[in-house]
Amino acid sequence: MKSRLDKALQSQGFGTRKACRLLVNRGAVRVNGVLADDPDADVECAGLVLSIEGVEWRWHETIYLALNKPEGVECSHTPTHHPSVFSLLPEPFVTRGVQCVGRLDADTTGLLLLSDDGAFIQQLTSPKRKVAKTYLVTCAEPITDAQLSSLAAGVTLSDAPEAVAGEGERVSERVLRLTIHEGKYHQVKRMLAAAGNHVVSLHRQRVGGLELPVSLAPGQWVVLDEGGLAAVRGG
């Protein structure tokens, strides 16, 4: 796939067509290591490596990110009480329209997926897909066998016509690993409350078959490769 250089730059979030042409004209753009001087030049997008102001960017037709969400950020472009999670991303990603694939509460940490692929977002957030999401749940009280049984059998939530169940495994006295297949508002917190406990902290470890990389510190992100995408879709 070929594209004019200014269009390729615009598609990657580097501003309007005019702004992208200005970047090239003032010598701020390199294409595969070579200084670019013609915004109308055709470039091959597959494998394209752009350098903008000395910062390297690989071309992606659509982009998929895994971010280790820290506590105290909101999954919104218009946050109300905390900074936006999008403040953790480079501006070109935000400009090109990257969105959260589902949301995590401000006080919930862990694996958050983001993408500018609308079909991908719809697939992973559709209730029909029942994509598995695994959380590490720290509870206020010791987790009892009766609570584990209640979660496995299903608890009643006000906005669910049927009981909602989860696969729970006690990690320690007050820590539970819980896998759910829906994405209802405050679901894990409400499920634990319905089972007779209270969530102190919540950390998402896995979406589908993709586990949060241990090397990814809170606030850091990584572009998912084909293996990572396959894991998300296959889990």
For the entire predicted model, the pTM comes to 0.92
Listed residue (231, 204, 208, 227) closest to 216, CA to CA: 204
Listed residue (34, 35, 41) closest to 7, CA to CA: 41
The boundaries of every CATH 3.30.70.580 domain in the chain are 64-127+209-234
The boundaries of every CATH 3.10.290.10 domain in the chain are 2-58
Whether the predicted pLDDT of 101 surpasses 70: yes
Q: What is the mean pLDDT of residues 104-117?
A: 96
The boundaries of every CATH 3.30.70.1560 domain in the chain are 133-207
Looking at residue 52, its pLDDT comes to 95
The domain 133-207: what is its CATH number?
A: 3.30.70.1560
Q: Which residue has the tokens 């992606």?
A: 60
Q: What is the mean pLDDT of residues 133-138?
A: 97
Whether the predicted pLDDT of 108 surpasses 80: yes
| pLDDT tens, residue by residue, 31-81 | 999 999 999 999 999 999 999 999 999 999 999 999 999 999 999 999 888
Conformation bin of residue 234: beta by default, left when phi > 0, alpha when psi is -120 to 50: alpha
Domain 64-127+209-234 has CATH 3.30.70.580: yes
What CATH superfamily is the domain 2-58?
A: RNA-binding S4 domain (3.10.290.10)
Looking at this protein, which amino acid is placed at residue 69? Answer: K
**Percentage of residues in the chain having pLDDT higher than 90:** 83
| Whether residue 116 lies in the annotated active site | no
Looking at residue 159, its pLDDT comes to 76
143 neighbors 178 (Cβ within 8 angstroms): no
Of 38, 42, 105, 117, which one is the catalytic site residue? 105
* pLDDT confidence bin for 235, thresholds 50/70/90: low
Q: What is the mean pLDDT of residues 102-128?
A: 93
